[in-house]
Amino acid sequence: MKEGFRQSMSWLHTWGGLLMGWILFFVFLTGTAGYVEAELDRWMRPEKPLVAAEVAQADALALGLRFVQEKMPDARRWLVSPPGGREQPELRYFVEGYPETEGAPGKRQSGFLDPETGEKVAYRATGGGRLLYRMHYRLHYIPTTAGEWIVGFCAMVMFAALVTGVIIHARIFKDFFTFRPGTGHRNWLDAHNLLGVLSLPFHLMITYSGLLFICYLYMAPVIASEYGWGEDNRRAFTDIMFSGRPFDRNTERAAPAPLAPLGPMLAEADRIWGPGNIGFVDITRPGTVAARVRILEGTRRVSGDRAEVLFNGATGAVIDAPAVNPAPRIVSETLLALHEGLFAGPVLRWLYFLTGLVGTAMIGSGLILWTKKRRARLEGRLGFALVERLNVATVCGLPTAVAAYLWANRLVPVDIAGRAAWEANVMFLTWAALAVHAALRPAARAWAEQCWIAAAAFGLVPLVNALTTDRHLGASLPAGQWELAAVDLTCLAFGLGFIVAARIAARGHQRAVQAKEVSPTVQEAAE
Amino acid sequence: MIVLAFFLSFAAWTALAFAMNRHRRDMGWVRATPVQRIMLRVAGGGLLAASLWACAGHWGWSMGTVAWFGVMTASALSLVLALAFRPRTRRAS
């Protein structure tokens, strides 16, 4: 009975893991890149000054607020986020206009401002690290909802694979430190187990909280049973859920009234959270009696919530804060905050990045393990060949495609239309080309060749950067701009890693060739 | 403090690994007596707790706990790689 249970768990782990593994590899890899989203964003905007100007938050905020008030006095929403910390290194604005026709959303506009002069600045059009981060939960080229459904389903399988993986492992403590390199498929099993077990808390947390992110999508009937169906009801729910009170979506122009001075409101925020700790200022329906000014705290916490103060924009009076967070919301927000890791400083961010890579490698090693275990039995079958080729194209091809995305950021001409989209197109074209390559070459040779391609793609990123911009290592290192240098250096490290992988793959290829050369002689001997 | 947390955790994993005869054998060491094994495990547990304390000292308790899991993963991986790819001169046959 016990054996039967473990076997059925093993079946679920093997086949669920295999079928969803390729998408999960994509999700984990792009999600891991999402942990360094801000650093990639900065790298992909080389027009930014090498060393950011030191500007007091209050001064930058004042410039931003003046900009939106002067340039777009008729808007129904102004949002200005001052530069502060890693998450938002820029002075940004977002403006939403009144709808011209009934029911249509108003025109939206956003951009970057120079924090010293308040003038608009233009960077090259790029998806940045942000796009990689978005791919990890909504994929690309397909509607957001469809992507979220697919990723949600895969996350469910991932969670099942983690639980069944623990059940079938059975020797978690005995094999806790066991890695025996170079002994057939045993070493891939060891690697898969180690990568899984040694950061199991992370894997469980990231998968469960990932499911929690999109539960509003696939558990919609639960919400609808309380709030009713339809867009308005859904919004009523998300407002209460994520900001604790309804958001003013009224699109009518209320009776005009001048906006109360913002200075005292900002001073009040500084008094509560300490100076220079404002996340953003969000002004809805300015210039009317219904104006609201919402100021959000800058600091991120593990518990996820950020404090806010709300003012009546016409009178300048504080509107009472909503009731204390209910416990379930704190639990949910904590899990979501753990997933995103936005509170993490440099060291903790590296640890997040590392464990993310461990998760990616665990999935990759699981995919490879499937073929290693079945080679003797299934080699030559179409299904086996398909799995093997998809493995090469995913485990080697996808990282190379991400490197190509960085190349595209530097090499696609700055002034062509749809430039940001082309960066992503280059990434997926590269991936497609490598998939074709993997399909046409003998599998063992494809592994080695694609590892070399990946090594070159990553290893040459700093060179491409140096040839196309002056934000290269020679400039960033002396200036102590580590978040910029870290992208180049990490690419170099990946390049070296793939060289090691290529040598291992080449050895595997040699063994395969030797085995083939030996077998005819064995046949002859048998004759 | 971060470096301290890492090495406390690394030491903890080392103690726990050498409470296991498999890894002692790989190093060519004699088997551990039952008392030694218990002592190594207690030491390992204590060092892990000390590593959590060091993390909390740097990050505060809430963020420190998160970091502790990351530190444990990083140090355990380092130990496994060190054991697997250590110089083989001392290996007893």
Q: Search chain B and give the residue with CA nearest A200.
A: B73
- Banded model confidence at residue A11, pLDDT cuts 50, 70, 90: very high
Q: Cβ of B69 under 8 Å from any chain A Cβ?
A: yes
Check residue A524 and give its pLDDT.
Answer: 46
Q: Note the pLDDT tens digit of each residue in A224-257.
A: 888 888 888 888 888 777 766 666 667 677 888 8
> Do B74 and B51 form a contact (C-beta atoms < 8 A)?
no
Task: Reply yes or no on whether the pLDDT at A517 is more than 80.
Answer: no
Task: Reply yes or no on whether the pLDDT at B91 is more than 60.
Answer: no
Gap from A314 CA to chain B (nearest CA, Å)? 40
Gap from B50 CA to chain A (nearest CA, Å)? 18
- Cα angle A115-A109-A253, degrees, rounded to a multiple of 5: 110
Higher pLDDT, A28 or A251: A28
If contacts are CB pairs under 8 Å, which of residues 173-212 in chain A contact chain B? 174, 176-181, 194, 198-199, 201-202
Comparing CA positions, the residue from A441, A431, A420, A414 lying closest to residue A512 is A441
Check residue A322 and give its pLDDT.
Answer: 63
Task: Reply yes or no on whether the pLDDT at A295 is more than 70.
Answer: yes
Q: What is the edge-to-edge ordering of all strands in the sheet holding A120-121?
A: A120-121, A108-113, A91-96, A77-81, A278-284, A292-297, A308-312, A318-319
- Beta strands A292-297; A318-319: pairing state: unpaired
Q: Cβ of B29 under 8 Å from any chain A Cβ?
A: no
Mutate to test the interface with B, among A179, A198, A335, A360 (most CBs of B within 10 A): A198
Q: What average pLDDT is seen over chain A?
A: 89
Which of B23, B67, B81 has its CB closest to that of A348?
B67
Dihedral sign from CA coordinates of A250, A253, A256, A259: positive
Check residue A523 and give its pLDDT.
Answer: 45
Q: Cβ of B39 under 8 Å from any chain A Cβ?
A: no
Q: Cβ of B84 under 8 Å from any chain A Cβ?
A: yes
Comparing CA positions, the residue from A272, A294, A281, A262 lying closest to residue A81 is A281
Check residue A526 and give its pLDDT.
Answer: 44
Which of A179, A343, A348 has its CB closest to that of B84?
A179
Q: Note the pLDDT tens digit of each residue in A101-147.
A: 655 667 888 889 998 898 999 899 999 999 999 999 999 999 999 99
Q: Search chain A and give the residue with CA nearest B64.
A: A348
User: Following CA atoms A410, A413, A415, A419 in sequence, which dihedral angle do they give, to the nearest 10 degrees?
Assistant: -70
Q: Find all residues with CB under 8 Å of A31, minimum gap 6, and list them.
A: A133, A136, A137, A206, A356
Check residue A101 and give its pLDDT.
Answer: 60
Check residue A109 and give its pLDDT.
Answer: 86
Check residue A525 and give its pLDDT.
Answer: 46
Percent of all residues in chain A with a pLDDT value above 70, rounded to a whole number: 93
Q: How far is CA A361 from CA A303, A398, B16, B67, in A?
A: 29, 13, 25, 21
Which positions in chain A touch B71 (Cβ < 8 Å)?
Answer: 351
Q: Search chain B and give the residue with CA nearest A300.
A: B63
Contact A177 B20 (CB under 8 A): yes
Check residue A522 and give its pLDDT.
Answer: 45
Secondary structure class of A388 (helix, strand, coil) = helix
Percent of all residues in chain A with a pLDDT value above 90, rounded to a whole number: 60
Which of A181, A302, A348 has its CB closest to that of B70?
A348
- Banded model confidence at residue A499, pLDDT cuts 50, 70, 90: very high
ipTM > 0.95 (yes/no):
no
Contact A302 B71 (CB under 8 A): no
Check residue A103 and give its pLDDT.
Answer: 57
If contacts are CB pairs under 8 Å, which of residues 322-361 in chain A contact chain B? 338, 343-344, 347-348, 351-352, 354-355, 358
Q: Cβ of B3 under 8 Å from any chain A Cβ?
A: no
Q: Search chain B and give the residue with CA nearest A356.
A: B70
Check residue A376 and give its pLDDT.
Answer: 86
What crossing angle do the helices spanning A397-411 and A482-526 adopt, rounded to 10°? Answer: 140
Tally of residues, chain B: 93
Q: Note the pLDDT tens digit of each residue in B16-52.
A: 999 999 899 888 888 889 999 999 999 999 999 999 9
- Cα angle B83-B87-B89, degrees, rounded to a multiple of 5: 120
Contact A177 B76 (CB under 8 A): yes
Which pTM value belongs to this model?
Answer: 0.91
Q: Note the pLDDT tens digit of each residue in A365-385.
A: 999 999 999 988 998 899 999
